[in-house]
Amino acid sequence: MSISLDQDQAERIRQHAERAGMDVSAYLVHAATRQMAESDAIEEQFAEVDALIARAERAADGLPAEPDRGPGAELTEQERLEVEEALDLVRGHDQQGPRPGHAA
């Protein structure tokens, strides 16, 4: 395996490896292994969310297209209420009012 670096990158890596008491090869293997472990942990942490999104996208593909209401079309009363409920959640409100520790 070989890698290409510009001179500044190579020098910085050499300096960091030296400070860590490692040769450059060991330092790069250590850094890559650490990055892979971090990436694996992140992927594992979000696997359920990623699967949920994938299922939602597949379900949405089967839905009929929403009719084009054209520019300036108003929301229905139900849509307006749903938007307000969503915004209340974003603002930190639930049905009992503002949640402690959250902005109102």
Q: What is the pLDDT of residues 31-81, one digit of tens each?
A: 999 999 999 999 999 999 999 999 999 988 888 887 777 766 788 889 889
Q: Which residues contact 12 (CB under 8 A, 6 or more apart)?
A: none
- Structure tokens that stand for 39 in this block: 């990436």
97 φ, ψ (degrees, to nearest 5): 105, -170
Please tell me the distance from the alpha carbon of residue 24 to that of residue 10, in angstroms, as a whole number: 9
Q: What is the pLDDT of residue 100?
A: 54
Q: How many residues does the chain have?
A: 104
Answering whether pTM is above 0.75, one says: no
Place of tokens 């084009």: 68
pLDDT at 104 over 50: no
Q: Which two tokens stand for residue 66?
A: 């929403």
Q: Quick one: pLDDT at residue 95?
A: 55
- Contact between residue 103 and residue 93 where contact means Cβ atoms under 8 Å apart: no
**CA–CA separation, 58 and 11 (whole Å):** 49
